Structure 1
Amino acid sequence: MIKFIGTDLDGTLLNSYSKISTQNAQAIRNAVNSGIVFAICSGRTLHSVNKFFEKDLKVPGYRVVLNGAVVVDSKGKKVVDQPLDRDVIAEILKRAQFSKFKIVLDGLNDTYIYDPNRHWNTYFEGMGRHHFKEQSVNDLMKLNDQTDIDIYKVCFSCPPKRLHELQKKLESFTALPITISRSGSTYFEINGQDVTKLSALQHISEHETIPMNEFMCFGDYGNDLEMVKEAGYGVAMANAIDKVKEVAWKITDNNNQNGVATMITRVLNKEFD
């Protein structure tokens, strides 16, 4: 019996215009009204995820943000809080200082962007009041030294022609106590050691006393792979990468065809009990 539903945002619950469709929103409301516990599980910041709860879904639920580094329950209480170690961030920035890759540091709500090509946008949205332009890697280093700011994630991206170069740079970080995941074709995210969406969901599983085999989780990309694989009902979107599809229990419609709503409706119709 499915008692928990968790879904990624970009490429999953959101369509190509970064919107939650009416069908997806209504299906989630129906699930929550039936007693199912709900979570958004995203690499985004808390501020970004909160907007979708407040403006679109209007239901209680967990916020699993920053790839699981922070979990906030439906009452607004932070139940997981795992920022990156400052010394680790400093070492990453030192090693990448002259590489001229785009580097993004994610705080709880704010995003700090260094872009040598001066495009400044993040992978999921453009500039806003929670996005800050940094002029150099040195500025990011100074930011990391500020004890009043916790950084949960370091992100790297590059033009497609430099992908191999970026991957080689990331390989040089692997001895550090970190977790590297891929959330786009040329976008990589670094969290603390053993910090993943799955680890966050395992914490929720204990907190709610709902076993993982009663979880349904939706995803499309590399940072979703573990949670899709380990959930009792792991669902890949039709637009998911092959690795996620290979470990999924089912494949649903793509993110522009309300694939999340399609599967939730089947759950509520008790097709999987």
Structure 2
Amino acid sequence: MNSPNIQLVMSDIDGTILNAQHQIDESLRPNIQQLTENNIPFVLASARSPRGVFPLSKELDLGQNPIVCYNGALILEENGNHFRIIKEHLVALEEVQIILEVIKRQFPKVSVNLYSGEQWMVDKRDKWVEIEAAITNESPAEQNLQSLLLENAPPIHKLLLVEEPETIHELHRFLENLQLKDSAFYLSKDNYLEVTSKEVSKERALIEVTRYYDTPLENVMTIGDNFNDLSMLILAGLGVAMGNAPQAVKEKSDVITCNNNEHGVSQAIRDYVL
């Protein structure tokens, strides 16, 4: 295929720049250095919180490049020890209260994780919280979430609901049937149900990042490995699916690179940008 003139690269994190051991592809940093030398920004876009993205940004020496958190619910620019919000989309407080009440009454085993800016809050540290903490190298604050929302509600960027797949799929169907006006539900894993504003998607995040850089969409390469990446893969001038992506994602992408254990992102940068 004829590759467009790439002026910006936006990439997913888990399953993309990270291998199966959740480590950054060791060949990636020198390739990003070459992108920087050619004034081509490399932007990280993930369902992770800022605390789960900033360390990776620092490790890759991305400087003040924006980071896309919570799949686009929060886009930040770091400036020294502070950050500036470029764009945010919040989950409606009254709908979060409805969701928590449903879980308390009918799905009490579900692990509830609330994300607000850099903060990760949970009712208790159960096994699912410990698994997520090990993956992201973060530690949540414990407090009664329902009381928090009644007393001093923070801005809410995302809920993450976790349990065994059968329970999560049942909860997903139940919440969808509530037909809440402002909340969107999607499975990021078979047992991970994410709740964000309906305004949130990586497609919208990509549009907001291209406006930030004043870069045409046709001159952007996006890289991802899963269904929540698909909208940005389709919208960009060049959408690159990882070799470990589901077949349905590969079929709707422009090209396929190697998998995340075989330096797929580095290969895409070399093949289509450098």
Q: TM-score, normalised by structure 1?
A: 0.88
Partner residue, 1:21: 25
Q: In the alignment, residue 10 of structure 1 is paired with which amino acid?
A: D
Between the aligned partners of 2:124 and 2:266, the Cα distance in structure 1 is: 37
- Counterpart amino acid of 2:197? G
What SS is found at the alignment partner of 1:10?
A: coil
Q: Structure 1 residue 18: deviation in Å?
A: 1.2
Query: Would you say 1:155 and 2:164 are equivalent positions?
Result: no
User: Tell me, what secondary structure is at the counterpart of 1:73?
Assistant: strand
**Cα deviation code 1:128-181 (max 9, x no counterpart):** 6641245xxxx2212223536222101112213434323322322443312223
Equivalent position of 1:92 in the other structure: 99
The 8 Å contact of residues 221 and 240 in structure 1, kept in 2 or not, is answered as yes
**Corresponding residue of 1:260:** 265
Code of the aligned partner of 1:70: L
Choose which of 55, 58, 76 in structure 1 pairs with 2:61: 58
**Is the counterpart of residue 101 in structure 1 residue 130 in structure 2?**
no
In structure 2, the CA distance between the partners of 1:159 and 1:129, relative to structure 1 (3 Å rule), is closer
Select between 168-177 and 59-68 the one with higher mean Cα deviation.
168-177
Residues 1:24 and 1:195: Cα distance change in structure 2 (over 3 Å) = same
Confirm or deny: 8 A CA contact 1:158 1:166 kept in the other structure.
Answer: no
Distance 1:127 1:146 in 2: 29
Shift of 1:127: 8.2
Match of 2:35 in 1: 31
User: What displacement does 1:51 show?
Assistant: 0.7
Distance 1:28 1:114 in 2: 39
* 1:42, distance to aligned residue in structure 2 (A): 0.6
Residue 110 (1) aligns with residue 113 (2): no
In structure 2, distance between residues paired with 1:244 and 1:133: 37
Which residue number corresponds to residue 220 of structure 2? 215
In structure 2, relative to structure 1, the CA distance for the partners of 1:112 and 1:251 (3 Å cut) is same
Query: What are structure 2's unaligned runs of at least 5 residues?
Result: none
Q: Percent identity?
A: 25
Which of 75, 82, 89 matches 2:89? 82
Report the Cα offset of residue 244 of structure 1.
Answer: 1.8
Q: Aligned in 2, Cα 1:146/1:224: closer, same or farther, shift over 3 Å? A: farther
- Gap runs ≥5 in structure 1: none
C-alpha contact 2:120 2:141 (8 A) present in aligned 1: yes
Which of the residues 123, 130, 149 maps onto 1:121? 130
Counterpart of 1:196?
Answer: 201
1:7/1:41 contact within 8 Å kept = yes
**Judging changes above 3 Å, is the alpha-carbon distance between structure 1 residues 176 and 16 closer, same or farther for their aligned structure 2 residues?**
same
Which shifted more, 119-128 or 104-113? Answer: 119-128
Give the alignment partner of residue 74 of structure 2, picking from 67, 70, 78. 70
Question: TM-score of the superposition, structure 2-length normalised?
Answer: 0.88
Q: Deviations over 1:193-244 (max 9, x none)?
A: 2211221221121222111111111111222121111111111111112332
Task: Single out whichever of 238-247 and 163-172 deviates more from structure 2.
Answer: 163-172
Which amino acid in structure 1 is aligned with residue 18 of structure 2? L
Describe the shift of the 1:120–1:228 C-alpha distance in structure 2 as closer, same or farther (beyond 3 A).
same
Q: In the alignment, what sits opposite 2:145?
A: 140
Task: Give the drift of 1:117.
Answer: 5.4
| 3-state SS in 2 of match to 1:35 | coil
Letter in 1 for 2:61: K
Aligned length: 264
Give the Cα separation in 1 of the matches to 2:114 and 2:54: 19
